[in-house]
Amino acid sequence: QVHLVEAGGGSVETGGSLRLSCRSSTDSARRYYMSWFRQAPGAEREWVATFYNIEENAEYYSDSVKGRFTTSQDSAKKTLFLQMNNLKPEDTAMYYCAASYRRFFSNDTAEYTYWGQGTQVTVIS
C-alpha cells in the first residue's frame, strides 16, 4: 500500500505561481511512479503530469499545462513536486497525486491504485 499526502494548494492571482508537493510512504518494495491529476467542479478528473521512473526517467505533461508546469521528485523518490507557473483561472481545481504500479507510463485514472486526499488550487481572475 502507498500512502500519499498533498500540500501546497491555495489561492493565487492570474499569472501567479504555486508549488504543490506529494509525500509518499509505503511498506512495500514494489516500485511505483506518481502522477498529478486535477478535477474541477462538475468535470471529470483529468491527468496533468507524470514523473515516470520505472523503465527510465521521463516527465510527461498534458497539453493544457505544458510549458507552464514542471514536475520533479526528490532524490529519495519519496516526494513529488508540481511547480505551477503562469497560472490561469482554468487551472482552478482540486489537485491529486496518485501512484501506479504499472510497468509503463499511463495517464488513465484506472491505472492508478492509490490517491491522495487532494489540495485545492484557486486562480483568481
- C-alpha grid cell, residue 51: 514523473
- C-alpha grid cell, residue 71: 514536475
Backbone angles phi, psi at 111, to 5 degrees: -90, 0
Write the Ramachandran bin of 48: left for phi over 0, alpha for psi from -120 to 50, otherwise beta. alpha
* pLDDT, tens only, 70-123: 999 988 878 999 999 999 999 999 999 999 999 999 999 999 999 999 999 999
Buried b (16+ CB within 10 A) or exposed e, 2-30: bebebebbeebeeeeebebebebeeeeee
Indicate the range of 11-20, 33-42, 51-60, 64-73 predicted with least confidence: 51-60
